[in-house]
Structure 1
C-alpha cells in the first residue's frame, strides 16, 4: 500500500458523507464573510469549549500529557498527538483529525486555531504558566493531514 493509498483512505473515512457538503459550504461562507484571523479566533474559542467538555486528568510528565491527550482524541475519533521536548519549546503534532477533510484544503490555516484553543486550555488546566502559548506552525505540516503546534513563551 502506498502513501497515496493511505491518504486516500484517510480522506474518505474522516468525514461522514452526510456532513461533507454542509461543512464545505460552511467553510466557504466563513471564508467569504470574515477575515482569516477572525475565523481562526472563532475556531480557537470552539477548541477551548471542546477542551473544557473533554478535560484531561492531572499529569506530571510529558508522556502522561501525551497519553491524556490521546485518550481524549481516541474517544471521539479525532486522530492523535505526539509531543517532543525541544530546548525552547514543546512540539505538538496532531495527526489525522477530520478538520482538513471536513472543511477542505482552503481552511487549513484558520482551522489550526481549533487546536490552539484545545491544547492551550488543556495546558492551562495543568497549571502551565500564562506566558506560555500554543501556536500553530503553518510551516511544519508538509502537506500531510496534521497540524504542527508549539508551546512556547509568547513574543514580547
Structure 2
C-alpha cells in the first residue's frame, strides 16, 4: 500500500514540475492529472494510516463545541458544497464595494485572498440557515435552521 501511494505522490509531483511550462505554473489546481495522482497518493496514505493505527475521530466528541461544529457541517454538507463557490464568487463584488470606503481601504487587507476567503465563509454562514433547511425537507425531516 505504501509503495503504491508513494509512487502516486512521486508521479503527481514530478508531473506538476515537469509540465510547469505547459500549464504556466506548478499549482496542482491548474494541472488535473498531477492533482489526481497527488491526491490519490495522499488519501491512500491517510487511509492506510487510519487502518494501521486504528484511529478514529470519536475522541473529538469530548469537545462539545467542536462536536457541535462537526454535527452542523455533516448535517449541512450539501448546502455547504452547493453554495461555497457562489459565496466565493459573490465575495469579489462585495470586496470591490469596500474599496470605496476610505477607512476599509486603509485598514482592511482588501487585496488579500485570505480576506476573500473570510468573506466567503461569512456568506456561507448566512446561506446555511437560509437554505440548509431544504436538506431537512429532502430527507423528509422536520425543517430546522441549524441541526
TM-score class normalised by the smaller sequence: under 0.3
Question: Normalization by structure 1: what TM-score?
Answer: 0.22
Bigger relative contact order, structure 1 or 2, given CA contacts below 8 A and separation 6+? 1
Question: Normalization by structure 2: what TM-score?
Answer: 0.23
More helix by share: 2
